[in-house]
Amino acid sequence: MRVLVIGSGAREHALVLALSRDPGVTAVLAAPGNAGIGRIAEQFPVDAASAEQVVALAKDQQVDLVVIGPEVPLVLGVADAVRDAGIACFGPSAAAARIEGSKAFAKDVMASAGVRTAHSEVVDSPADIDAALDRFGPTWVVKDDGLAAGKGVVVTADRDAARDHAAEIIENGHPVLLESFLDGPEVSLFCLVDGETVVPLLPAQDHKRVGDGDAGPNTGGMGAYTPLPWLPEGSVDRIVDEVVRPVAVEMVRRGCGFSGLLYAGLAMGAEGPAVVEFNCRFGDPETQAVLALLESPLGAALNAVATGALADLPPLQWRDGAAVTVVLAAEHYPASPRTGDVITGADDERVLHAGTKRRDDGALVSAGGRVLNVIGVGDDLGAARDSAYTTLAEIKLPGGHYRSDIGLAALEGRISL
């Protein structure tokens, strides 16, 4: 099976790496890829958001399966175009991708499916912001109703900061979604979904804030770990039964059945799981940790979803132990990351590239806010953390920064339900 992976980040690097280890995959291609992906897959300079370019490449390279990593091509309907061309595609239709592309749509689906989530209200006029804020708090959750690459959310006890963020979103032409604050530790659960068939992967936890101790602004994610030692046994089945499957069934009922990876971001409160958000694709950086423990062939699993055969897929097999991924970010990320700095010491296979490129002289340089992901795998969470941070210590990036506490609260027993 020849597989084409669409995207250019560390998530796609992780997908390419896992696919290259599948004995049933004869070739892995990537578009547009990055400097790290280029070491293990042939790359093509294609615009990931262009349905015409993606379809033309898939036909030219006679691929059997297209795997779309980022959310933007999915929301724009690239998966639809690939399937219309007669090529199997892992990724939901544009209609189904609205579960991420429109938070208001997601809320409506959850309401119909009886899924617990935060109370919310959409505001699309600056004149309505103050009155709406009065109906929320004392912790305000302010979201861009559209796609915001993980950085369109402000959670704050500062009303002025909440108001400023809401005003900025509306000024940029997007509606604002205000939500009640959901208490409890967060869980990311990825599920392979084929209509009403749901197969969960390992639960993970992301670290969204830029600094240690969850300080500073939200980012696209500064690191993640899996599994979750504090999550009670049976919690994954409960999330599938109470959240993911009801949503999958509701989307089928609406005529926009989901096919691909449905990501549920949840708050595990006293009353059980409540949805913070849904994503229509593999999450970044949780994917990097989760796939590090997958022993089953990834290509076979993704192809089963793409061809409507998920119900026949053998149970997924996982390595014992834990995995951690830590993000090395560029100076000034997430506000205005500096690019073009030379990176050294990043040759290890456990280093996944997110925002990198090769200069004409062959030097590896930063080309984005989140530059690298370092993977650590071990017999337990402590060993996985040690592995990741030992590797990270060998990498040099001027002005680069990372969190030193990925998975630490779980390791020290400071997370509980």
What does the pLDDT look like over 320-350, one tens digit per residue?
999 999 999 999 999 999 999 999 999 999 9
CA-wise closest residue to 324 among 354, 289, 373: 289
Using pLDDT thresholds of 50, 70 and 90, give the confidence band for residue 271: confident
pLDDT tens digits for range 90-136: 999 999 999 999 988 999 999 999 999 988 889 999 999 999 999 99
Fold equal for 2-94 and 120-179:
no
Reduced to 3 DSSP states, what percent helix, strand and coil does the chain have, rounded to the nearest 5? 30, 30, 40
Coil, strand or helix at 300: helix
CATH superfamily placement of domain 120-179? ATP-grasp fold, A domain (3.30.1490.20)
Q: What is the mean pLDDT of residues 235-246?
A: 98
**Which CATH number is associated with domain 322-411?**
3.90.600.10
Burial pattern 236-272, b for ≥16 Cβ within 10 A else e, equals beebbebbbbbbbebbeeeebbbbbbbbbbbbbeeeb
Domain range summary for the chain, segments of one domain joined by +: 2-94, 120-179, 186-312, 322-411
Question: Above 70 in pLDDT, residue 233?
Answer: yes
pLDDT tens digits for range 52-84: 999 999 999 999 999 999 999 999 999 999 999
Question: Above 80 in pLDDT, residue 298?
Answer: yes
Determine the pLDDT at residue 307: 98
CA-wise closest residue to 236 among 192, 261, 200, 266: 200
Q: What is the mean pLDDT of residues 271-281?
A: 95
Q: Fold for 186-312, please state it.
A: D-amino Acid Aminotransferase; Chain A, domain 1 (3.30.470)
Using pLDDT thresholds of 50, 70 and 90, give the confidence band for residue 262: very high
Question: Above 80 in pLDDT, residue 147?
Answer: no
Q: What is the mean pLDDT of residues 12-22?
A: 98
Q: What is the mean pLDDT of residues 3-28?
A: 98
- On the question of a cis peptide bond just before residue 227, with omega within 30 degrees of 0, the verdict is yes
Using pLDDT thresholds of 50, 70 and 90, give the confidence band for residue 151: low
pLDDT tens digits for range 398-413: 999 999 999 999 999 9
Question: Above 80 in pLDDT, residue 148?
Answer: no
231 CB neighbour count, 10 Å cutoff: 20
How far, CA to CA in Å, does 286 sit from each of 117, 268, 359, 410? 22, 17, 29, 16
Half-sphere exposure (Cβ direction) of 350: Cα atoms closer than 13 Å: 23
pTM over 0.85: yes
Q: Please, are residues 69 and 11 in contact by the beta-carbon 8 Å criterion?
A: yes
What average pLDDT is seen over the chain?
Answer: 96
Determine the pLDDT at residue 120: 86
Domain 2-94 = CATH 3.40.30.10: no
Q: Please, are residues 26 and 46 in contact by the beta-carbon 8 Å criterion?
A: no
Fill in the DSSP letter of residue 183.
P
